[in-house]
Amino acid sequence: MIQIAPSILSADFTRLADEVRTVERAGADRIHIDVMDGRFVPNISMGPFIVEAIDSLTELPLEAHLMIEEPDRYIDVFMDAGADVIIVHQENTAHLHRVVQSVRERGKQAGVALNPATPARVLDEIIDELDLVLVMSVNPGYSGQRFIPSVLPKIREIRRTLADREIACDLEVDGGVNADTAPDVVSSGANVLVAATAVFKHPDGTAEGIRTLRGRD
C-alpha cells in the first residue's frame, strides 16, 4: 500500500488550515514539513511553530524533515511541537545512532535522509534501527525541482537490503515526485511518496493531485 505525504512547502500559507484539511479529506496519509535553515540548504522555511499549528488542525501523523545544521539540538523541540516522525540527514548528523535512540525513546519514529550524492551503504550500521529511510530525489532546498532518475538504483538497493534483512522500515522518496515519475519510484520499492508541487499546484486541485500520484497503487 503506497502512502502519500504532501509537503506543505508548496501550500498556500494564507489558507494553511484549508490546505491541510483538504489533503486530509483527499486521503493523504501523513503531512511532510520541510524545515530549512539557510545553512544546510540555501533556503529558509519554517520551524516548530508551524508544526504546532498543523498539529492542531489534523489527526494525520506529521513528519519533520530537518534540513538544518546541528539537527540533534532541535529534535526535542520538534517532537514537543507535535512531530511524530523526525527525519535527519545522514550528511550532517555526527551522532546518528544517538539521535535515533533519543527519538525512539520518546515513542516517536526516526528517519534518516540521504542526499542524491550519498550512497545507500552509509546506512549499513544503522538501518536496523530506523523506522524510515528518505531518499532525496532532488538536492534539498526547494520544491518544484526536476526528479533525478539516477537515484532509482539506490531506492532498489535499499529495498533489497530491507527485504534481505527483514527490516520493517518505510522507504520514502522526496523531490520531483509526480504522476510521471511516481510509477518508477514505486516499482523501485518506495512505499511513501512525498510531493509538494504535484499535490498543491495540481491544475485540477489537490485532491486530484493525490489521486494521480496513487495512479498504479
Active site residues: 34, 174
Residue with cell 494521480: 212
Contact characters 35-64, ligand DX5, x per CB under 6 A: ------------------------------
Tell me 137's DSSP state: S
In this chain, which of 30, 65, 108, 154 binds Zn ion, going by CB under 5 A? 65
- Within 8 A by CB and 6+ apart from 122, the residues are 90, 114
Nearer to ligand DX5, 131 or 174 (CB): 174
Nearer to ligand DX5, 69 or 167 (CB): 69
- Within 8 A by CB and 6+ apart from 125, the residues are none
Question: Is 123:114 a contact under the CB 8 Å cutoff?
Answer: yes
* Using rule CB under 6 A, residue 196 touches ligand DX5: yes
Contact characters 120-159, Zn ion, x per CB under 5 A: ----------------------------------------
* Using rule CB under 6 A, residue 138 touches ligand DX5: yes
Least distance from Zn ion to the Cβ atom of residue 11, Å? 13
* Using rule CB under 6 A, residue 19 touches ligand DX5: no
Report the alpha-carbon distance of residue 68 to residue 42 in Å, rounded.
Answer: 10
Report the alpha-carbon distance of residue 78 to residue 82 in Å, rounded.
Answer: 7
* Using rule CB under 6 A, residue 9 touches ligand DX5: yes
Report the alpha-carbon distance of residue 11 to residue 20 in Å, rounded.
Answer: 8
* Using rule CB under 6 A, residue 3 touches ligand DX5: no
Which of 82, 92, 119 is CA-nearest to residue 36? Answer: 92
Tell me 68's DSSP state: S
Contacts with ligand DX5, residue ranges (CB under 6 A): 7, 9-10, 32, 34, 65, 138, 140-145, 174-177, 194-198
Site residues (vs Zn ion, CB under 5 A): 34, 65, 174
